[in-house]
Structure 1
Amino acid sequence: MTFAFDNTYARLPDRFYARLAPIPVARPDMVKLNLSLASRLGLNPQALQSPEGLSVLAGNRIPEGAEPLAMAYAGHQFGNFVPQLGDGRAILLGEIVDPAGERFDIQLKGSGRTPFSRAGDGRAWLGPVLREYIVSEAMQAFGIPTTRSLAAVTTGEPVYRESALPGAVLTRVARSHVRVGTFEYFAARQDTEALKCLADYVIARHYPEARESERPYRALLDAVVVRQADLVAKWLGVGFIHGVMNTDNMSIVGETIDYGPCAFMDAYHPATVYSSIDYRGRYAYGNQPGIAQWNLAQLAQALLPLIAEDAESAREEAQAAIDAFGQRFERAYRECFRAKLGCMETHEDDADLLGSLLQAMAESGADFTNTFRALCDAVAGTDVPVRARPGAVALPDVWLRRWRARLAREEVSPVARAARMRNVNPAVIPRNHRVEEALDAAVEGDLEPLEALLDVLASPWDERPEMASYTRPPAPHEVVQQTFCGT
């Protein structure tokens, strides 16, 4: 039972965190262990499933070399600044270095109260823990940067929300748990020394190329802008809606983090919202690029004292970095959707072609995933109706003729084009009704729907007979109107 801990964050000044151990739980029991991830990290899956391993994953035992702590950070929540948030229900056990030499955080989520818990109980319940497990593993399969889930265990203790629910702990793996809100925490306190220490730490660990720049802190901001722009473009490509894009939920390394009330869109519309706490649609599907840029502006504001000594020069440089987001995002977005349409080259009218398609889909209520997957089939010939897949309603003939004319400008065989399209247009996503079905069953002790869902999501580009039901949009009585964060 060995973890190769090398804990760099714990070496930062004391005001960066609170040192404390997870609070032990009564009767831990394994629900799901991510065997492939354990092996990737150089951990022994058999040891993790032993009583000793279960004790570690539940927070009842501190493994050798761990230095458990709760990280301090602030954040803008739905646009309102909260000067102190922090890990209110999570403990960073430490960092491990995998056999390939890559460094990862190991965090227990739902491990009890911390000094940052405020009015919270510091616990998690099984539903949101498994939601994060399911969706983060799907994102990994899509090739989208994400935190991952190593294990989900139940605690044998109830958690009280609207009712008594089974408690659980998630072991989360991330390249970093530093957030935009971590920088805001020290900026709000005008603690320039800590701000510089944090920026230097992030550069050394995650952006070493910025160290070579004449302006390393501007280079850091530029690099984070690029990663976030690329990340959000990938989100939109699979119809993902984060649901709570607060600055404390934006990773400094460009990974998807803090899934909470996340969801995948069924019928396409840019104003789609699922999160029960997003009353005004701030984090709707189509708003996510603008929100990402807004969040990055808060990072730029925090970094001003480091970017340049002269305040005006610092503002100008920071503004230039934030202004660059739009161009970077548009390029990533167009590359993503150009590939989804089967276009191998760039043409000036591609943006209009995509816009016309999305408008038609929004007006008809077309299923986002199945419409794009149907286009993979339609590449083969004009006689294949795009409405052949459930929810992929008939697109206007004028658009289909225009699309085929666009594809004809490239010398690519239909078979090769369709194959490439199927590698960017998933056949299956974690549809909300399927996720809820798996969570409801797991709470009752039936893990078969969970295992079946994880199995099909592990190969989202493939189509197998047993996957057919997972590609179907929800029937009217199955539609999930809202998703919840679980706190």
Structure 2
Amino acid sequence: MNAPTETLFLSHETPFVGLAHPFIEQVNTKPLPQPYWIDWNNTLAQSLNLPIERSKPWLDICSGLVDKAWCSVYSGHQFGVWAGQLGDGRAHLLGSINTIDKHYEVQLKGAGVTPFSRMADGRAVLRSSIREYLASEAMAALHIPTTRALALVGSNLPVRRETIETAAVVTRVSPSFVRFGHIEHYAHRNQLPQLITLLDFIINQYYPQLLESDTPYIDLFELIVSHTARLMAQWQAVGFCHGVMNTDNMSVLGITLDYGPYGFLDHFDWQHICNHTDQQGRYSYANQPHAGYWNCAALASAFWPLINDEALLSERLERFHERYEWSYLQLFRKKLGFKKQEESDAALIKDLLDMLHHHQVDFTLFFRQLCELSLTNSSQDELIFAPLERSLSLFNSWLSRYRQRLMLEHSEDRERQSDMRRTNPRFILRNYLAQEAIKLAEEGDFSMVRQLKTVLDKPFDEQPTHQHWAQLPPQWAKEISVSCSS
């Protein structure tokens, strides 16, 4: 197999590859037959000093036509149950791209089987690949840590799921794809030399501030806990539901990893479940922070062999709650336009969300409309809430408290409104929009995938030509069901 010349942009001397066996295995890909472009993320490509135009060599790379690739082994807890050995079942690490100040690993998802495929076919289907491609970039534009998506290519290769679908490959980019499950794998096997090697690698590559620490492993654990807590708060603040928060889908860097069944809230619902496989609601919107804490507790068990101090581990683990609450309040204060902190803010926020839940108010649209509220002209309030198809009377009591809170810090309308518009998005990746784009794509029309990507790149802008994508979702959107099948 002759790799395209553009692989010169990729360094095979990736630090993670340097760990070698047993952490990583060199494998062969199985390129998509007759691949075609669906999209090339020229914005991300430009930031990585890659060509901004699509090219045949990059089409070959992104479909799996490469000389070298690697995959890694990990384990994990799935829906709270130890699942044992897992691994990159359809993910192939190609190498890295280095910019002046950052290092990124490049990975294909869907380019064939690996030693860890567990009887699966190593493929990804078009619909799930579109969802991952769009979600990765939507989250990045919302300033939420995430893997990125460089390219999306398709093929007419048939793939069997519930029905026969066609194959696709997403090219993913991230500083690292190391998961909680990597650490759990060696700890549960009592392979302490390998566990130490892995943790030392994580510190050297991603947490170099710990190199001078006298207690690097417990400090590393605390940083992972802190980043995870922050990420949970960021998800909650934009109404994002992950759906499969297993420990093998949790990043040691605190970035959003693996977009399987996910969803952004339409009407606010504390108990919203985005993954219909999750019948018990383990990963519902309200439970996400608790699931993040539970996963950190599972990670604490993996650190136990090297720390052997239950009180110390417990103390660092419990800091999750402090970090989460602080981040959560800060993010929602920004959404409400507050510059100062008041003890009453937590109750004000909780009461607002309970009201949105009770009246099934659209989460994103409410906060965006709230940006227009004026302290000097309350006569316009009815117009502000009209797009929500809800009467102002539903909000009057809470709005009175909100106005008092704003006046307490002498909030100025123009400055606050501008700040809030930069915090509360006009556009999110609603499930029905993704579904419409997928339906067109399955008919060979990828225009909506590309248009959505462009709009979601600037979620805080008005973009009047696409205002119909910022309105209340249609009734049929409630019937959309997303599962782990991909």
TM-score, normalization by structure 2 = 0.95
Q: Distance in 2 between matches of 1:393 and 1:351?
A: 25
Counterpart for residue 327 of structure 1: 322
- Structure 2 residue corresponding to 1:54, chosen from 55, 59, 71: 59
Aligned partner of 2:3 in structure 1 is none
Distance in 1 between the 2:84 and 2:476 partners? 42
SS at match of 2:334: helix
SS in 1 for 2:116: coil
Instruction: Tell me if 1:212 matches 2:207.
Output: no
- Describe the SS at the equivalent of 1:285: coil
How has the CA–CA distance of structure 1 residues 409 and 477 changed in structure 2, closer, same or farther, with 3 Å as cutoff?
Answer: same
Distance 1:392 1:370 in 2: 12
1:186–1:358 CA distance, 2 compared to 1 (3 A): same
Q: How many residues get paired?
A: 475
Which one-letter code corresponds to 1:58 in the other structure? S
Opposite residue 419 of structure 1, the aligned amino acid is: S
- Aligned residue number for residue 3 of structure 1: 9
**1:431-483 superposed Cα distances (whole Å, 9 cap, x missing partner):** 11111101111111111222221222111111132122111122212324421
Q: Is the 8 A contact 1:374 1:388 kept in 2?
A: no
1:382: which partner in 2? 378
**Partner amino acid for 1:199?**
L
1:425 is matched with 424
Taking the aligned partners of 1:214 and 1:392, their CA distance within structure 2 comes to: 58
- The CA distance in 1 between the partners of 2:90 and 2:106, in whole Å, is 14
The aligned amino acid for 1:210 is L
Could you tell me whether the CA contact under 8 Å between 2:45 and 2:51 is conserved in 1?
A: yes
Map of 1:72 onto structure 2: 73
Partners in 1 of 2:252 and 2:346 — Cα distance? 30
Give the direction of change, closer, same or farther, for the CA distance of 1:329–1:392 in structure 2 (3 Å limit): farther
C-alpha contact 1:269 1:362 (8 A) present in aligned 2: yes
Describe the superposition over 1:232-266 as per-residue Cα deviations: whole angstroms up to 9, x where unpaired: 11111110000100000001111101010010000
Does structure 2 retain, via aligned residues, the 8 Å contact 1:373–1:426? yes
Structure 1 CA distance, aligned partners of 2:268 and 2:411? 29
For residue 15 of structure 1, give the secondary structure of its aligned residue in structure 2. Answer: coil
- Mapped to 1, the partners of 2:41 and 2:484 lie a distance apart of 23
After TM superposition, list the pairs within 5 Å mapping 1:309-388 onto structure 2: 311=308, 314-380=309-375, 381-383=377-379, 384-385=381-382, 386-388=384-386
| Alpha-carbon separation, structure 2, partners of 1:379 and 1:459 | 25
Structure 2 partner of 1:243:
243
> Which deviations, in whole Å up to 9, do the C-alpha atoms of 1:261-286 show, x marking residues without a partner?
01000010111012121111100011
Distance (whole Å) between structure 2 residues aligned to residue 132 and residue 198 of structure 1: 28
- The residue type paired with residue 388 of structure 1 is A
Q: For residue 113 of structure 2, what is the amino acid of its counterpart?
A: R
CA contact (8 A) 1:379 1:417 kept: no
Runs of at least 4 residues off by over 4 Å: none
Distance in 2 between the 1:481 and 1:192 partners? 46
Residue aligning to 2:48: 41
Shift of the alpha carbon at 1:8? 1.1
Give distance in 2, aligned partners of 1:482 and 1:287. 19
Report if the CA contact (8 A) 1:364-1:393 is conserved: no
Check the 8 A contact 2:98/2:104 in 1, yes or no.
yes
* Aligned counterparts, 1:470-485, within 5 A: 470-485=469-484
Instruction: Tell me how far 1:163 sits from its aligned partner.
Output: 1.6
What letter corresponds to residue 93 of structure 1 in structure 2? L
Secondary structure, aligned partner of 1:18: strand
1:188 deviation in Å?
A: 1.2
Q: Which moved more, 1:381-390 or 1:323-332?
A: 381-390
CA positional deviation for 1:316: 1.4
1:114–1:393 CA distance, 2 compared to 1 (3 A): farther
What displacement does 1:164 show?
Answer: 1.5
Q: CA deviation at 1:392?
A: 5.7
RMSD: 1.4
2-structure distance, mates of 1:468, 1:45: 28
Q: Which residue number in structure 2 is paired with residue 464 of structure 1? A: 463
Q: How does 1:39-438 map to 2 (within 5 A)?
A: 39-46=46-53, 49-62=54-67, 67-98=68-99, 100-307=100-307, 311=308, 314-380=309-375, 381-383=377-379, 384-385=381-382, 386-390=384-388, 394=392, 395-438=394-437
Any unmatched runs of 5+ in structure 2?
Answer: 1-5
Decide whether the 8 Å contact of 1:29 with 1:156 is kept in 2: no
